[in-house]
Amino acid sequence: MQLAWVLPLTCSQEEYSQGKKEKIEQVRRRSIRNGRQVYAENVLWGVEGLEEEPRNLLEELVWAKEREIEVRRQRMPLALMKSRLEKSDVGPTRNLDAIFSERASGESALFFRYQRCSPEDTESAPTLAAVAAEKNDAKAIVVNAESRHFYGNYEDIRRVHETVACPVICHDIFVYPWQLYDARFHRADACVLITKVLGLKDTIYFAKATSLLGMAPIIEVHDVPEIESLLDAKQRQRDDGQVRFLLFAKRDLNSLVPSLDDTTALLSRFAQDAKHLGIRLMIELPRERAPNAALLQELGEHGADAVLASAMRDDRPL
């Protein structure tokens, strides 16, 4: 597998946001470049006492992720990640687009999430994934690989991938392209990129890096300014062809639980434009909403191409 080293972008952040009324409200990304802290080998240098607290759970997880990946990058630099991937036998990615071209009209395709119950829960992934895929006809499985809050693990991606035939999507908090190589190495077919974490310009940059690794970039959006900015970038061809899949998840930033409030209003407002621009829309369901046929039909009629159910914690079919 040949990997590209340079990821050219066609325009600046200012160009992306030009003409937009509301700016994207991004969580703060702790960066070693802003002088707050620096890792050198396994020693952390910084000014004690000046650090602010994270404002919400998402920000806490973003900061923790940056610290985690910074340490892991020291141990395995990007060049090594690339050569590890080039030498591996990951095989071709499974095609997310095919799900939608094969779909019967009207109804949304059903995606399931695999999420661990506890840090010790190492064995359930293949069983649950198989049940979801076979008994519930899931068209893709999302693996929650976030480790700090959801006990996730990239080995889960590989184990689920070995069990099911459908595409496997990695849901983590991406703050360095380094993580995309890790996801691909563990057989991810697609990755979820969170606009509230990355901002518009980096979302498109990360989407391009995701695509260059053969994976599909799924862009998670929480609110209207994010959706408008991405549709605008697509419309003005400022996205390098990367805005193809949007995941609507209006999350409480302290619990990360998504809400379905306003979803039909958002779909009514944006689905037609998205369709016109060739963008597939996915909706994340809150845990208490069972993804029955009536809901899939209703959301499908409002323009949702896929619905992501959050109910995969035990091996009972729905």
Contacting positions for ligand LARABZUK (CB under 6 A): 58, 113, 115, 144, 146, 150, 171-173, 194, 251, 256-258, 287, 310
Nearer to ligand LARABZUK, 114 or 238 (CB): 114
Nearer Cβ to ligand LARABZUK (115/153): 115
**Least separation in angstroms between CB 279 and ligand LARABZUK:** 21
**Min. distance of Cβ 288 from ligand LARABZUK in angstroms?**
8
Q: How far apart are the first and last CA of the chain?
A: 39
Of 90 and 256, the one with the shorter C-beta distance to ligand LARABZUK is 256
- Is the sign of the CA dihedral 260, 151, 178, 24 positive or negative? positive
CB of 59 or CB of 305, closer to ligand LARABZUK: 59
What is the residue type of 60? E
Phi/psi of residue 209, nearest 5 degrees:
-65, -40
Q: DSSP string of 280-304? A: EEEEEPPTTS---HHHHHHHHHTT-
Question: Considering the complex, what minimum distance in angstroms separates the CB of residue 65 from ligand LARABZUK?
Answer: 9
Minimum CB distance to ligand LARABZUK smaller for 229 or for 310: 310
CA distance 273 to 236: 13
CB of 282 to ligand LARABZUK, least distance (A): 13
Choice between 58 and 283, CB closer to ligand LARABZUK: 58
Residue 251 Cβ, how far from ligand LARABZUK at the closest point, in Å?
A: 5
- In whole angstroms, the minimum distance from the beta carbon of 8 to ligand LARABZUK comes to 28
- Write down the least CB distance from residue 12 to ligand LARABZUK, Å: 27
Rounded distance, CA 66 to CA 78, Å?
15
Q: Which is nearer to ligand LARABZUK, 22 or 314 (CB)?
A: 314
Q: Provide long-range contacts, Cβ within 8 A and 24+ apart, for 128-132.
A: 128/312, 128/313, 128/314, 128/315, 129/159, 129/160, 129/163, 129/164, 129/312, 130/163, 130/164, 131/315, 131/316, 131/317, 132/164, 132/312
> Residue 238 or 249: which CB sits closer to ligand LARABZUK?
249
Question: Shortest gap between Cβ of 259 and ligand LARABZUK (angstroms)?
Answer: 10
Long-range contacts of 268-277 (CB under 8 A, 24+ apart): 268/302, 268/303, 269/224, 270/227, 270/231, 270/303, 271/302, 271/303, 271/304, 272/303, 273/231, 273/235, 274/231, 274/246, 274/303, 275/303, 277/231, 277/234, 277/235, 277/243
